[in-house]
Amino acid sequence: MADDRMIEVAVLLSAGRHPASGRARRAPLDAQALELALRLVETGHAARVHALHAGDPSNPALRDYLGMGLDRLEVLELASGADPVPALASRLRTLAPALVLAGAVAEGGEDSGMVPYLMARSLERTLVPDVVALELSGDGADLTQALPRGRRRLVAAGLPLVATLHGSAPAARQSAFARARRGSIDILPADGAGDAFLEDCAVRPWRARPRLMGSRRGGTALDRLRAATETRAGQGRLMVQPSPEDAASAIYECLIEQGIIR
């Protein structure tokens, strides 16, 4: 990079939760955001990385981020269920980073994916979503943005800006145990109001949603009706004027075979 001025990069990190075991872990998309920031430093960019988390400083998932190569991680200590947006926005105004990176969605709280957008609005910055690659150049950045069906688009944007990571960005490196133990967690006091939305929600374990039965697209309305109602040869059974009990039993068995209900 031609300009040797130090560029401040802030990465917003959340505490993830494994979908099967429920064990605390680093959030995959946030880890990819940190990976992108670390690669900027490793490829010779004059950048300094600040890692920020708002929540419980004793969460074991934070050590997983330190194990990626961070010397320190800042935690804005908030009570469980508190809204992290005001605390993060206040800290980012103090740091004034030229670039803020975050995953598209967290693995805890509301999982709404709105935090980066609220940060961009609060800091009055441009937001570029679904980034998979990034290069800094002077007072701007060249970003590669993921589009549907595997397409890519090059975007040039001026600094400062906020960017969210897409799942097809480079995978995060493994977390080293020794680095995770050596890294320090700096705890900063923060004020946070309760999240009114979460207070009205009931939290329960995730379960798979029922799948919709597939239907053939295209063609005439008659073709789509036949595709949805016809029984393929060698599959199912034909029932002529069945009793309500027999019909209900057959439908129930079909739903089980399709995996829609268990």
Q: Which CATH number belongs to the domain containing residue 20 in this structure?
A: 3.40.50.620
In a domain, 1, yes or no: no
For the chain, how many helices (H) and strands (E)? 8, 11
pLDDT value for 35: 97
Q: How many domains does the chain divide into?
A: 2
pLDDT at 215 over 70: no
Same domain, 21 and 127: yes
How does the average pLDDT of the chain come out, rounded?
A: 86
pLDDT at 241 over 90: no
Of 147, 182, 199, the position where a domain reaches its end is 199
**C-alpha closest to that of 88 among 76, 78, 99:** 76
Distance CA 145, CA 161 (A): 14
If you search the block for the tokens 């320090």, which residue do you land on?
Answer: 184
Please name the residue ranges forming H helices in 48-195: 61-66, 85-95, 115-123, 177-182
Of the two residues 257 and 35, the one the predictor is more confident about is 35
In a domain, 178, yes or no: yes
Of 145, 178, 199, the position where a domain reaches its end is 199
H/E element holding 73? strand 72-77
Note the pTM of the prediction, 2 decimals. Answer: 0.73
Same domain, 86 and 20: yes
Please name the residue ranges forming H helices in 52-146: 61-66, 85-95, 115-123
Same domain, 191 and 259: no
Same domain, 147 and 245: no
In a domain, 179, yes or no: yes
Which range marks the domain in which residue 126 is found? Answer: 7-199
Mean pLDDT of 197-207: 71
Mean pLDDT of 219-243: 68
Pairing of strands 99-103, 72-77: unpaired
How far apart, in Å, are the Cα atoms of 134 and each of 29, 137, 205? 15, 10, 36
Mean pLDDT of 143-158: 93
Same domain, 215 and 251: yes
CA 55, 59, 64, 69 torsion-angle sign: positive
If you search the block for the tokens 């935690």, which residue do you land on?
Answer: 75
pLDDT at 223 over 50: yes
Distance CA 127, CA 164 (A): 8
Model confidence band, residue 138 (pLDDT cutoffs 50, 70, 90): confident
In a domain, 223, yes or no: yes
Same domain, 28 and 106: yes
pLDDT at 222 over 90: no
pLDDT value for 2: 42
Same domain, 222 and 195: no
In a domain, 56, yes or no: yes
Same domain, 150 and 221: no
Model confidence band, residue 221 (pLDDT cutoffs 50, 70, 90): confident
Of 176, 199, 222, the position where a domain reaches its end is 199
Model confidence band, residue 236 (pLDDT cutoffs 50, 70, 90): low
Same domain, 238 and 118: no
Of the two residues 211 and 157, the one the predictor is more confident about is 157
Q: Which of 2-6, 123-127, 169-173, 223-227 has the lowest mean pLDDT?
A: 2-6
Model confidence band, residue 211 (pLDDT cutoffs 50, 70, 90): low
pLDDT value for 108: 67
H/E element holding 128? strand 126-137
